[in-house]
């Protein structure tokens, strides 16, 4: 998997940069030292060297598999998170966990903490907290046009309120219009707040909501996974087109209220386009 070998700005040192476990690095160094000694002697390869090579290849293949390392899938609200959650649950099975208001396993049962077998965590979590616990984890997320994302969240909470969320309670208590909702501080630049100190290049994969099929194709290829059908998550039954129809003046104001998210979205789209072009080459 190519992304495993890419350097990360949040890492330092060779071991941290490529994310290999120390034991694997020690085995790799011993193998290189042994093979160098054989090559220097100029004699025929020893059978033990061939066996060591086979074992090392097996270990490397396992470590480079996405299932062999912790995967943190950051779900920014209304960015295809439910769709991606279902896909990850199929891939990781018993090793898949969700982190929203509480932690739950692949069957939806609440658990007190992430167990040892956890290999994929998906949800509305703080990346810094989980990266402190899993420093070599692979990061995944999705982004969406900020104006459309705000409109989608507004209409979704109109249909299915989340009374635990203070912004949702404010929406219903004040019977806010879309523009009034967008003007709330908690509704602004939410993608940027989820990213925190992280940059797009810190992620092994960023999907683009508006490019869902192409994003999934990139995901499957990047992680050497066989393509599979994907069931879609929440869809607004009242929306007849792919985008919410918003008056131009309201759209401009919502975009201005989310200028940081607009810049982040454009950067993620540019990164996605480069990755997609490289994949097609």
Q: What is the pLDDT of residue 278?
A: 87
Domain limits, the chain: 20-64, 69-280
Q: Which residues, including other chains, have CB under 8 Å from residue 126's CB and lie 6 or more apart? A: 196
What does DSSP say about strands 103-104 and 96-99: parallel, antiparallel, or unpaired? antiparallel
Tell me the pLDDT band of 267, cut-offs 50, 70 and 90.
very high
Tell me the pLDDT band of 276, cut-offs 50, 70 and 90.
confident
Q: Give, rounded to a whole angstrom, the gap between the first and last alpha carbons of the chain.
A: 17
Q: Quote the CA–CA distance of 1 and 64 in Å, as a whole number.
A: 6
Q: Quote the CA–CA distance of 42 and 39 in Å, as a whole number.
A: 5
At CA 24, angle to CA 18 and CA 29, rounded to 5? 95
- Give the pair of three-digit tokens for residue 78: 């209304």
Contact criterion met (CB below 8 Å) for 106 and 89: yes
150-184 residue pLDDT tens:
999 999 999 999 999 999 999 999 999 999 999 99
29-54 residue pLDDT tens:
666 666 666 656 665 555 666 666 66
- Report in angstroms the alpha-carbon separations of 248 from 153, 180, 187, 235, 276: 19, 16, 19, 23, 31
State the Cα torsion 209-211-212-215 to the nearest 10°. -110
Residue 234 or 262, more confident: 262
Helix 166-174 vs helix 146-159: angle between axes, to the nearest 10 degrees?
70
Tell me the pLDDT band of 7, cut-offs 50, 70 and 90.
very low
Q: Quote the CA–CA distance of 141 and 209 in Å, as a whole number.
A: 10
What's this model's pTM, rounded to 2 decimal places? 0.75
Contact criterion met (CB below 8 Å) for 196 and 139: no
At CA 104, angle to CA 102 and CA 109, rounded to 5? 115
Contact criterion met (CB below 8 Å) for 110 and 104: yes
Where are the alpha helices (H) located in the chain, listed in sequence order?
Answer: 14-18, 22-41, 47-64, 81-92, 127-133, 146-159, 166-174, 178-182, 190-195, 212-222, 248-257, 259-280
Q: Which residues, including other chains, have CB under 8 Å from residue 60's CB and lie 6 or more apart? A: 24
State the average pLDDT over residues 222-237: 77
User: How is domain 69-280 classified at the CATH fold level?
Assistant: Rossmann fold (3.40.50)
Tell me the pLDDT band of 141, cut-offs 50, 70 and 90.
very high
Helix (H, G, I), strand (E, B) or coil at 233: coil
79-95 residue pLDDT tens:
999 999 999 999 999 99
């Amino acid at each position: 998997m190519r992304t495993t070998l890419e350097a990360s700005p949040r890492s330092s040192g060779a071991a941290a940069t490529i994310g290999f476990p120390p034991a694997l690095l020690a085995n790799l160094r011993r193998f290189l030292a042994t093979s160098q000694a054989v090559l220097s002697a100029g004699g025929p390869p020893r059978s033990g060297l061939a066996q060591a090579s086979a074992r090392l290849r097996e270990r490397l293949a396992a470590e480079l598999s996405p299932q062999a390392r912790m995967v943190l899938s950051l779900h920014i609200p209304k960015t295809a998170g439910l769709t991606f959650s279902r896909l990850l649950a199929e891939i990781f099975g018993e090793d898949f966990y969700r982190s929203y208001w509480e932690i739950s396993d692949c069957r939806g049962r609440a658990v007190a903490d992430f167990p040892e077998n956890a290999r994929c965590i998906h949800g509305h979590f703080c990346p810094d907290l989980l990266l402190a616990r899993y420093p070599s984890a692979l990061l995944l997320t999705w982004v969406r046009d900020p104006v459309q994302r705000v409109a989608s969240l507004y209409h979704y909470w109109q249909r299915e309120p989340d009374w635990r969320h203070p912004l949702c309670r404010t929406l219903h208590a004040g019977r806010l219009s879309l523009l009034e909702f967008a003007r709330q501080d908690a509704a602004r630049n939410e993608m940027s707040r989820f990213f925190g100190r992280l940059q797009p290049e810190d992620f092994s994969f960023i999907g683009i909501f508006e490019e869902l099929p192409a994003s999934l194709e990139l995901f499957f290829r990047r992680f050497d996974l066989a393509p599979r059908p994907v069931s879609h998550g929440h869809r607004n039954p009242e929306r007849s087109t792919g985008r919410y129809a918003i008056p131009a003046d309201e759209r401009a104001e919502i975009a201005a209220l989310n200028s940081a998210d607009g810049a982040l979205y454009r950067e993620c789209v540019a990164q996605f386009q480069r990755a997609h072009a490289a994949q097609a080459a």
